[in-house]
Amino acid sequence: MRIDIVSIFPEYLDPLRLSLVGKAVDAGLVNLGVHDLRSFAHDRHRTVDDTPYGGGPGMVMSPVPWGEALDQIAGAHPGERIDGGTMTGGGVRPLLVVPTPSGERFTQSVAQQWSDEPWLVLACGRYEGIDTRVIEHYAGRSDWAGVREVSVGDYVLAGGEAAALVIVEAVVRLIPGVLGNAASVADDSFAAGSMERLLEGPVYTKPAEWRGIDVPEILMSGHHGRIAAWRAEQAHARTREHRPDLLG
């Protein structure tokens, strides 16, 4: 998979060189590019924003540098089989991902879908967001795979970079070969299948007793069937307590 991220704070994305995503990049499972939006501005101050039409507080990101940045990123890889050659009939088209609090909710199921995409381009907004014509334009372009505006939660961040870190990590850990033990994904909260509308229950490791608190005996019984049933029961109890909305 190829992932490109455009931001006015490219250093904000440095943590992607660490840990799981960093290892996936080193292993060649992910081809990651981070781009500075300001390098697509043409004035002395490298301006990327302007006052909003209709008035009001704050600034809006101009469509001009965004258009140049996105065209250059997409054009830099014409027809390249960046996903290892599984695409047929021409080039791979990038999917434009725009983090925004006014987008659809970014969920585990969206992360799962995107882990199969050959190419994601994330556009990190700042200020009052990106001029809406950028979304309109790339949604209509046949050389792009579409545009998805996604929110990582019902709160407002200062910029799209923290959301991009969340999205990239959630997607990359689902790419086959990234996690050492693929089975652990299936047991996760929100995992497709029996966990789709459930939170994972409590987990324990050694020692068996810590500060007067014992590990539940069932987990040391070696009885796999009873342990699975206990875990399912705990998952339901935790979901009822923390996220009753998931149970409907």
Q: Please identify, using beta-carbon distances, which residue of 163 and 168 lies nearer to ligand SAM.
A: 163
Contact flag: residue 151 with ligand SAM (CB under 6 A):
yes
Helices (H), 115-196: 133-139, 160-172, 183-186
Side-chain-side CA neighbours of 220 within 13 Å: the count stands at 10
Helices (H), 115-204: 133-139, 160-172, 183-186
Per-residue contact string for residues 104-133; x = within reach of ligand SAM by CB under 6 A: --------------------xxx-xx----
Shortest Cβ distance from residue 166 to ligand SAM (Å)?
A: 8
Options 152-160, 182-190, 195-203, 236-244: segment touching ligand SAM (CB under 6 A): 152-160
| Buried residues in 25-59 as b, exposed as e (16+ CB within 10 A) | beeebbbbebbbbbebbeeeeeebbeeeeeeeeee
Phi then psi for residue 97, to 5 deg, are -110, 120
Shortest Cβ distance from residue 181 to ligand SAM (Å)?
A: 30
Q: Please identify, using beta-carbon distances, which residue of 152 and 199 lies nearer to ligand SAM.
A: 152
Phi then psi for residue 49, to 5 deg, are -135, 165
Residues 6+ apart with CB under 8 A from 153: none
Contact flag: residue 159 with ligand SAM (CB under 6 A):
yes
Shortest Cβ distance from residue 147 to ligand SAM (Å)?
A: 14
Q: Please identify, using beta-carbon distances, which residue of 100 and 189 lies nearer to ligand SAM.
A: 100
Give yes or no for a contact between 50 and 58, defined as CB atoms under 8 angstroms apart. no
Contact flag: residue 155 with ligand SAM (CB under 6 A):
yes
Shortest Cβ distance from residue 104 to ligand SAM (Å)?
A: 10
Contact flag: residue 156 with ligand SAM (CB under 6 A):
yes
- Chain positions contacting ligand SAM, by CB under 6 A: 99-102, 124-126, 128-129, 151-153, 155-160, 163
